[in-house]
Structure 1
């Protein structure tokens, strides 16, 4: 502030954030959770931190802590496919198509089966969307 006075509180994303006389902010849990959800949905940590006026390392710590809280698994189960005999037909349709997957990833109740040759950049987006839905 121009007069050297610090505000007692600021508004961020509709939340009231108390500010101490030293300028430190006491981030409400609900705001922290919203920031983490925003990042897990695909927003960048740096951009989110800048938007709310927080240090990016602090916001990264919120994300790290949220990952170990049990709400979002830090690790996911990866199940290798069972070896199947080659199909007589080069074009497999129906339930037999599942045998052409290279792996299956389970995140909570969701399962993602990845076909051989599936583009890695698309897979990253799919996994982000599944994780954000948890």
Structure 2
């Protein structure tokens, strides 16, 4: 199996397991009375899930899913184990060639930090938007 495919498969399976559990927990955290009230006013089960339960569950699931995405970004540095070159591995190779370890490692760290900062800003904006109508 090619290294890139193995890395994608491993990271995808890891994140998929966590994401499935986060979404399951978010759906179960919506009170059962919400679904019962929706069926009482004549909604079918799929309508109640789509219009009542899933929007509330999405508001609950966004923070842990965003944290899972941040963790995935950080975990991409582990793909060098399966011979896929990533940013940190390139910094190591360049530092070994030039002998300037600290500046190259600081650059790699800043690069990861900027990516995580942008994702965090997006996460907080999404949380604000979803929490706008929450009581």
Pick the TM interval, shorter chain: under 0.3
> What's the TM-score once normalised by structure 1's chain length?
0.26
For the pair shown, which has the larger CA radius of gyration, 1 or 2?
A: 1
> What's the TM-score once normalised by structure 2's chain length?
0.26
**Greater strand share, structure number:** 1
**Greater helix share, structure number:** 2
